[in-house]
Amino acid sequence: MEKLVQEAQQLFSVHLTGRQLVALMTYERELLAWSEQFNLTAIRDVEGIRTKHFLDSFSCVLAWKENPPRSLVDVGTGAGFPGIPLKILYPAMRLTLVESVGKKANFCRHMVETLKLEAVDVVTARAEEIGQMPAHREAYDWAVARAVANLPVLVEYLLPLVQVGGTMLAQKGVSGPAEAHKAEKALQILGGRLRQLIPVTLPGVADDRYLVVVDKVAATPKNYPRRPGEPAKKPLIR
């Protein structure tokens, strides 16, 4: 864990306290135990979890620096990434985890209970469904997703959840810049404006990674997101 502490500090200026380290160690242990029974994540070794899950989650800090979210929705969170590690960093943040696969959502609930995390909601639903729920629509100052869909599709999942003046954050691989270009039409329709692409370096990971940061500048029209499956079938591209 000492290596994780050093890398979090060096790469993202994240200072981990003893209590946060204990929480991360518990998370790691539970993730490995549950992964023996359920297919929660393809990464099943300690080194991989620390780099590709924990550090990768912490990289989101580069997008907001000293001004962390008051409320965050993590769409397609899987086993809780990046939402739960970010909640460990920011205990006061209100967090909603959205996951359509029941066993993954159950694991997230188990972790929230085990780590005694407050103000965390786990919703078993598709992104298109939660985007039309009055309790969640335009209710968050940040929406984040990692490895969920191509950016033109992801914009339709995330922007409806963000209040005007809030921000959408997509964690992307090497295709980040090309996807951002492809998402121009979707951004225009859904009330978003590309702010920046932030390159991310993770130790021992050769592939380029990017944070795609999008400001919500106008309300999303009521008919978006469309019905489940439609954004992926008919993405908003030229």
User: pLDDT digit string (tens) for 211-236?
Assistant: 999 999 999 999 999 999 999 999 99
Contacts for 237 with CB less than 8 Å, ≥ 6 apart = 152, 182, 183, 185, 186
Q: Are 73 and 141 in contact (CB under 8 A)?
A: no
Q: Indicate yes or no: pTM above 0.75.
A: yes
CATH number of 67-233: 3.40.50.150
Provide the residue ranges of all domains of the chain, joining segments of one domain with +. Answer: 67-233
Taking only the tens place, the pLDDT of each residue in 67-89 is 999 999 999 999 999 999 999 99
Say which amino acid occupies 132.
Q
Q: Are 214 and 187 in contact (CB under 8 A)?
A: yes
Closest CA to 142 of 195, 205, 182, 183: 195
